[in-house]
Structure 1
Amino acid sequence: MKIGVDARNLVTSMTGIGRYVLEMSRHLALLGHQVHLYLPEAPYGNLKELSGTKLRISRFPGGIRRMIWAQTELPRLAAKDKLDVFWGPAHRLPFVLDRRIARVITIHDLVWRDMPATMQWQTWLADRWLMKPGVSVADEIVTDSTATATNLKDQFPRCAHKVNVIFPGLTAIGGTEFSTDISRLGIDRPYILFVGTLEPRKNLLRLLQAYASLPESTRQQYLLVLAGGHGWRLGDLKKHIASLQIEPQVRLTGYVSDDDLAMLYSNARLLAMPSLYEGFGFPLIEANARGIPTLTSNTSSMPEVAGNAGVLVDPDDVRSIRDGLQSLATDDLLHARLAENARPNSARFSWLDSASALQSIFERAVVERRDSL
Structure 2
Amino acid sequence: MIVVNCRFLTQEVTGVQRFAEEIVAELLSLRDDLVLVAPPGPLRMASIAGTPVRQWGKHQGHLWEQWDLRRALSQTPGKPLLLSLTNTGPVLRRRQVVTHHDVTYVREPHTYSLQFRTAYRLLSALTLRPAKAVVTVSEFSRQEIAAVYRLDPAKISVVPNAASQGFHQESGLEADPPYFLAVSSLLPHKNIDLLVRTFQRYVESTGSPTRLKLVGSTPESVARTNGGGTSSTAIEYLGRVDDQELRRLYASARAFVFPSLYEGFGIPPLEAQASGLPVLASDAAALREVLGSSARYFARQSEESLLAGLRELDTDAVLRQKFISLGQENAAKYSWSYSAEAVNGLLSTLTEGARP
Matched position secondary structure for 2:180: strand
Bigger CA drift: 112-121 or 265-274? Answer: 112-121
Q: What does the per-residue CA deviation read over 1:291-349, in whole Å, with 9 as the maximum and x for residues that have no partner?
A: 11111111142112223321122221111111111121122222111111122211111
Q: How far apart, in 2, do the equivalents of 1:264 and 1:131 lie? A: 36
Q: Distance in 2 between matches of 1:123 and 1:36?
A: 31
Take 2:34 and 2:152, find their aligned partners in 1: how far apart are those partners? 27
Partners of 1:284 and 1:305 within 8 A in 2: no
CA distance in 1, matches of 2:34, 2:115: 30
Map residues 1-373 of structure 1 onto 2, 5 A cutoff.
2-61=1-60, 66-79=61-74, 80=76, 82=78, 84-97=80-93, 102-120=95-113, 123-173=116-166, 188-214=176-202, 216=204, 218-230=206-218, 235=224, 240-242=229-231, 247-366=232-351
The TM-score normalised by the length of structure 2 is 0.88
Residue 121 of structure 1, CA deviation: 5.3
C-alpha deviation, 1:50, in angstroms: 3.7
Distance 2:32 2:118 in 1: 34
Q: 2:213–2:236: 8 Å Cα contact kept in structure 1? A: yes
- Aligned 8 A contact 2:47 2:53 in 1: no
Identity, % of aligned positions:
27
Report the TM-score, using the length of structure 1 for normalisation. 0.85
Letter in 2 for 1:56: Q
Write the distance in 1 (CA, Å) between the matches of 2:287 and 2:81: 31
Moved more, 128-137 or 218-227: 218-227
Contact 2:170 2:276 in 1 (8 A): no
Alignment partners' CA distance in 1, 2:49 and 2:79: 19
User: Is this contact kept in 2: 1:136–1:159, CA < 8 A?
Assistant: no
Aligned length: 350
Distance 1:216 1:272 in 2: 19
Partner in structure 2 of residue 370 of structure 1: none
* Pairwise CA distance, 1:197: 2.1
Q: Is the 8 A contact 1:168 1:354 kept in 2?
A: yes
| CA RMSD of superposed structures (Å) | 2.8
Which whole-Å deviations, capped at 9, do the CAs of 1:197-247 have from their partners, x for residues lacking one?
Answer: 2332221110012112326475523111112223968527898423xxxx1
**CA distance in 1 between partners of 2:173 and 2:320 (Å):** 24
Question: SS of 1:220's equivalent?
Answer: coil
Preserved CA contact (<8 Å) 2:273 2:328: yes
CA shift in 2, pair 1:75/1:104, >3 Å: same
Deviations, residues 49-105 of structure 1 (Å, cap 9, x unaligned): 4422542333213xxxx32322222122224153542122122232344x6xx3211
TM-aligned CA deviation for residue 175 of structure 1: 9.9
Q: Distance in 1 between matches of 2:130 and 2:292?
A: 34
Please give the alpha-carbon distance, in whole angstroms, between the structure 2 residues aligned to 1:47 and 1:181: 37
Give, in angstroms, the shift of residue 143 of structure 1: 1.0
In the alignment, the residues of structure 2 paired with residue 313 and residue 342 of structure 1 have an alpha-carbon distance, to the nearest angstrom, of: 16
**Structure with the higher helix share, 1 or 2:** 1
* Structure 1 unmatched runs, 5+: 368-373
| 1:173-200 CA-partner distances (Å, limit 9, x unpaired) | 479799x899xxxx74111111122332
Whether contact under 8 Å (1:269, 1:292) holds in the other structure is yes
Deviations 1:336-371 (A, max 9, x none): 11111122211111111111101111222336xxxx
CA distance in 2, matches of 1:81, 1:233: 50
- Quickly say closer, same or farther: Cα 1:72–1:237, change in 2 above 3 A: closer
* Maintained 8 Å contact 1:291/1:343: yes
Residue 205 to residue 107, structure 1, CA distance change in 2 (3 Å): same
CA apart distance, 1:35 = 1.9
